Amino acid sequence: MREAAYQSVLRSYTSVLTPGMSRREIQTHLTQNGKPFGLRSSGGMASDTLVKIAEEEHPWYCSAKNVYVRFGFKPADPTKLSSADAADTLTHVDIDKQLVGCL
């Protein structure tokens, strides 16, 4: 049931925000729609933009398990991997689950 809800949220984003759009366009859309977002570096690619959509039960040794819609980007400047440039290009959008504060 939760997974279906996550996929529904994902479809609501991917119907409007499509590969090839710039990071600036994505973040402007999120801001205009009141969706707070954060950044996370991912190996070999530009920083991802994350929108938290849920929290799940977590193991006792972690403080949280967050569920995000993750926007992945191709860096505008390949020498600046893991940074966030307004001209980065959206390559994919997916669901990402992360454990937080684990021992």
d(CA 11, CA 24): 20
What local confidence, expressed as pLDDT, does residue 1 receive? 84
- Number of structural domains in the chain: 1
d(CA 44, CA 80): 10
What local confidence, expressed as pLDDT, does residue 102 receive? 96
Per residue in 46-61, pLDDT (tens digit) is: 689 999 999 999 999 9
What local confidence, expressed as pLDDT, does residue 43 receive? 62
* Contact criterion met (CB below 8 Å) for 13 and 68: no
What local confidence, expressed as pLDDT, does residue 50 receive? 96
Report the half-sphere exposure of 48 (CA within 13 A, side-chain side). Answer: 18
pTM for the full model?
A: 0.89
Please list the ranges in the chain whose pLDDT falls under 50. none
- Domain containing 25 equals 2-100
CA angle 80, 83, 89 (to 5 degrees): 85
